[in-house]
Amino acid sequence: MTSPASIKIRRPDDWHVHLRDDEMLAAVAPYTANVFARAIVMPNLKKPVVLTSDAVAYRKRILKATDGTGFIPLMTAYLTDATNPSDLEKGFNDGVFVAAKLYPAGATTNSESGVTDINKISSVIEKMEELSMPLLVHGEVTSPDIDVFDREAVFIDRVLEPLLKKHQGLKVVFEHITTSQAVQFVRAAGPRVGATVTIHHMIINRSDMFKGGIRPHLYCLPVAKREQHRLALVEAATSGEKCFFLGTDTAPHSVNVKESACGCAGIFSAPSAIELYAQAFDEAGALENLESFASLNGPAFYGMDANVDEITLTRESWKVPEVIEVPGTGGVAPFMAGKEIQWKIS
């Protein structure tokens, strides 16, 4: 079958974004807000979004940065060892918090105040189970003795499986999955477990990080894995199965902190995300499943309606900018900077 020159899909949502704050927020948020109707906003600011009041204030700043687009930020709570279940419940019942995020302490950017031991937040998890409030997990163990490429698979065995057994009603999103083990686990876990799949994990494998030299702009967490895992992710995302949905994990950092002796983790994919997903689905011969993945499965998991308006993607080549200016920094290099992409949003 020849693939079409253009497709129309319901407007997508992004179920995993980092919008940052201040000048970075102002510079990056429009790339998400101009395409996606809604996005799950990650709470890992330098001073994390822990309390309902933090989220109310942050949401206001996001709405200001995306004024005129109609974008709806869906706020999340950053869980700590000291999270108060009553504040979380109030935030959820008031429609401020949509979900809460588990960062194992030390797992990734700004995760220092994360949870040191899942058992320390049992009362919080019980409350979330009772409320049907989704728990979003950064699924990596942090023990230094576990190889960085094994951290996700070990997390499944040591943390996620026991957690789901203990809390039979808990809804979980396994964020930015990177392994075939995670794909299999999510498929088998039933409708209360979903997973986001990023576009960069569908495109790069771990060798790409070292092609011709070290490529700091391809470094993110969880780190990209072997080719066999990338293939499993492409197969899962493009299958149309309800448990897999779009979450870019777009995570901007300025060029100077990426290109450093100790460069930080995160890939800024927002400027070309939906176009690259279209290209990946096209290459997999599965464009007909793009709408399920990008626009239907996520809202269904979160118990929300799909968006009513549509976007059109056209087969047309364009070049991703080399850098996005952010005042006060050296700018941010987007994913696939300077490269040609074969699909374009009209």
Q: How far apart are the first and last CA of the chain?
A: 24
Q: How far apart are CA 30 and CA 126, in angstroms?
A: 36
- 306, 180, 104, 263: CA torsion to nearest 10: -100
How many residues touch ligand NCD (CB under 6 A)?
11
Asked whether position 136 contacts ligand NCD by CB under 6 A, the answer is no
Q: Which does 247 bind (CB under 5 to 8 A by kind): ligand NCD, Zn ion, none?
A: none
Q: How far apart are CA 61 and CA 63, in angstroms?
A: 6
- Least distance from C-beta 138 to Zn ion, angstroms? 7
Single out the residue of 114, 139, 194, 266 in contact with ligand NCD (rule: CB under 6 A).
266
The residues annotated as belonging to the active site are 249
**Cis-peptide into 144, omega within 30 deg:** no
- Least distance from C-beta 313 to ligand NCD, angstroms? 25
Q: Which residues of 55-64 are buried (b: 16+ CB within 10 A; e: fewer)?
A: beebbebbee
Pick 19 or 37: Cβ nearer ligand NCD: 19
Task: Name the nearest CA neighbour of 108 among 134, 142, 80.
Answer: 142
Asked if residue 8 lies in contact with residue 311, where contact means CB atoms within 8 angstroms, the answer is yes
Residue numbers at the binding site for Zn ion (CB under 5 A):
249
Asked whether position 48 contacts ligand NCD by CB under 6 A, the answer is no
Single out the residue of 80, 83, 108, 181 in contact with ligand NCD (rule: CB under 6 A).
108
Pick 20 or 38: Cβ nearer ligand NCD: 20
Pick 14 or 249: Cβ nearer Zn ion: 249
- Least distance from C-beta 253 to ligand NCD, angstroms? 6
- Least distance from C-beta 115 to ligand NCD, angstroms? 14
Single out the residue of 13, 249, 275, 282 in contact with ligand NCD (rule: CB under 6 A).
249
Q: How far apart are CA 149 and CA 310, in angstroms?
A: 38
DSSP string, 270-313: GGGHHHHHHHHHHHTT-GGGHHIIIIIHHHHHHT-PPPSSEEEE
Single out the residue of 100, 197, 221, 290 in contact with ligand NCD (rule: CB under 6 A).
221
- Least distance from C-beta 241 to ligand NCD, angstroms? 23
Q: Give me the residues that bind ligand NCD (CB under 6 A), please.
A: 18, 44, 108-109, 138, 220-221, 249, 251, 265-266
